[in-house]
């Protein structure tokens, strides 16, 4: 399996690892198939900008690298901007992933959306284009991206 230099960099030196106390939003998603779990913490200011973001990933190297890159891509952005994050944009920023590792990037996208969802629920607001995320991406609409072991 061939990983890009960027994937290796974000795997060996992940950015934004940790947790945020009293976070504005926390999202946890897992993939029952591989057993990996990702949790994203957001600190969002009154204007809807993501002041800080941290993550914890109990998962494979690609899951660590994609969550690291995902947090980098949304840090400082407005929530409407963060909502546009896709697993594709995370993969592109990492110069690609091997096809059997695509689902790891889906976990990163869904963890960010789950944290945004939690934020919206806590605030009692609805964010355009944001739907309730699945707890387990294996059962979600991303099924087509799953690879057989």
Q: Which residues are catalytic?
A: 34, 104
Q: Among 107, 112, 115, 130, which residue sits at the site for ligand FES (rule: CB under 6 A)?
A: 107
Neighbours of 15 (CB within 10 A): 16
Copy the structure tokens of residue 71.
């947090």
Strands 50-58 and 36-44: antiparallel
Q: Given candidates 104, 112, 114, 115, which one binds ligand FES under the rule CB under 6 A?
A: 104
Q: Which stretch binds ligand FES (CB under 6 A): 10-18, 60-68, 88-96, 120-128?
A: 60-68
For the window 4-33, what string marks contact with ligand FES as x by the rule CB under 6 A?
A: ---------------------------x--
Whole-angstrom distance, CA of residue 119 vs CA of residue 25: 4
Rounded CA-CA distance 33/30 in Å is 9
Angle 102-123/61-74 helices, nearest 10 degrees? Answer: 50
Please identify which residue in 27, 36, 71, 111 interacts with ligand FES, judged by CB under 6 A: 36
Q: Is 43 in the site for ligand FES (CB under 6 A)?
A: no
The helix (H) or strand (E) run that includes residue 122 is: helix 102-123
List interacting residues with ligand FES (CB under 6 A): 31, 34, 36, 59-60, 62-63, 101, 103-104, 107
């Amino acid at each position: 399996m061939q990983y890009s230099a960027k994937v290796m960099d974000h795997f060996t030196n992940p950015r934004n690892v940790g947790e945020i106390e009293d976070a504005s939003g926390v999202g946890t998603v897992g993939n029952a198939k591989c057993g990996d779990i990702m949790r994203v913490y957001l600190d969002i200011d009154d204007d809807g900008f993501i002041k800080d973001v941290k993550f914890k990933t109990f998962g494979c190297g690609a899951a660590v690298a994609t969550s690291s890159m995902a947090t980098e891509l949304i840090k400082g952005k407005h929530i409407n901007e963060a909502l546009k994050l896709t697993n594709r944009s995370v993969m592109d920023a990492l110069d690609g992933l091997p096809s059997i590792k695509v689902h790891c990037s889906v976990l990163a996208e869904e963890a960010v959306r789950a944290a945004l969802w939690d934020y919206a629920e806590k605030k009692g607001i609805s964010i355009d284009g944001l739907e309730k995320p699945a707890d387990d991406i294996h059962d979600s609409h991303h099924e087509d991206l799953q690879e057989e072991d």
